Amino acid sequence: MSVVAVGWQAWGMRLATWNVNSVKARLPRLLAWLDENAPDVVCLQETKCRADQFPAAEVEELGYTAAVHGDGRWNGVAVLSRVGVDDVSMGFPGEPAYAGEPDDQQLTLAEPVPQVPEARAIGVTCGGVRVWSLYAPNGRTPDSAHYRYKLEWFAALREALAAELASGTPLVACGDYNVAPTDDDVWDPAVFVDSTHVTPSERQALADLRALGLHDVVPTPMKGPFPYTYWDYRAGAFHKNLGMRIDLFYASADVAGRVRSAYVDREARKGKGPSDHAPVVVDID
């Protein structure tokens, strides 16, 4: 029996997105999570390794083919799939490269200026669904060159996804967007005054993506009223549920209309050696 050939429309799919904060440091937990949750497709962010350092053989033993985009110690994205890996795109057309500017106080000589886009996006067709794993720039501070780069990156992403959606293919664009869509998506809006992740321009960038016909598949929180996906390692933030919803699952209308369930797997944030993000799991009929 081949699930690969039949695809999602007949069998349904379990998809997930997870910022693992280093795939090498997280490998034991990642493998255990794959084994326990049996997703068909997993989007990973912050893999923090070159493609040749990615533990492809280890995930292969669990039945997954890895499509990997990595350039070193920062960033890095991947898609794991057991329902096919086709048409892999490393980055997207028009994706900007970050370059610090002379007036950027945070640019130092120790920080090389990359001439090529960072490893923040990979697109893969899995069982008939176009899947993007995304890691948006942080932005650092609203007055920095990095913030302007963040907004440029979102604008270019919008154009690239618009072109793909025009073909009519089922599409999901999920990952760490580094933007909290509403004030309900941060534990205390007062803490984020004059900070990135909540500014009107960042939220408008998300609205511009939704205007393409992408739907925000909001997961069910497994505890508490808010579906946070990230909690800082420091100060017992997870224990006190001081979190943010910044890992988003955007889906075209045909996919969003077939969502059976979506939830934050906060179990994966517990215990020894977790990522600071929890996976978002989405089941599609």
Partner DNA sequence: ATGCCATACCCGGTATGA
Point out which residues bind DNA (CB under 7 A).
Answer: 19, 21-22, 24-26, 46, 48-49, 72-74, 106, 108, 110-111, 137-138, 140, 146, 176, 178, 196-197, 223, 230, 232-236, 238-239, 241, 244, 246, 270-274, 276
To DNA, the closest distance from the beta carbon of 8 in angstroms equals 29
To DNA, the closest distance from the beta carbon of 48 in angstroms equals 4
Give the DSSP H/E element, type plus range, for residue 280. Answer: strand 280-284
Beta-sheet pairing, 129-135 with 171-176: parallel
Nearer to DNA, 2 or 108 (CB): 108
Nearer to DNA, 82 or 150 (CB): 150
Nearer to DNA, 164 or 185 (CB): 185
- Using CA atoms, how far apart are residues 62 and 57, in angstroms rounded to an integer? 9
DSSP three-state, residue 197 = coil
Nearer to DNA, 1 or 193 (CB): 193
Nearer to DNA, 123 or 137 (CB): 137
Report which of 75, 59, 185 is spatially closest to residue 135, judged by C-alpha positions: 75
Give the DSSP H/E element, type plus range, for residue 17. Answer: strand 13-19
To DNA, the closest distance from the beta carbon of 165 in angstroms equals 26
Q: What is the dihedral of CA 42, 246, 68, 285, to 10 degrees?
A: 30
Q: Are 43 and 27 in contact (CB under 8 A)?
A: no
Beta-sheet strand order (sheet of 86-90): 86-90, 121-126, 129-135, 171-176, 247-251, 215-216
To DNA, the closest distance from the beta carbon of 264 in angstroms equals 13
To DNA, the closest distance from the beta carbon of 116 in angstroms equals 16
Nearer to DNA, 169 or 201 (CB): 201
To DNA, the closest distance from the beta carbon of 197 in angstroms equals 5
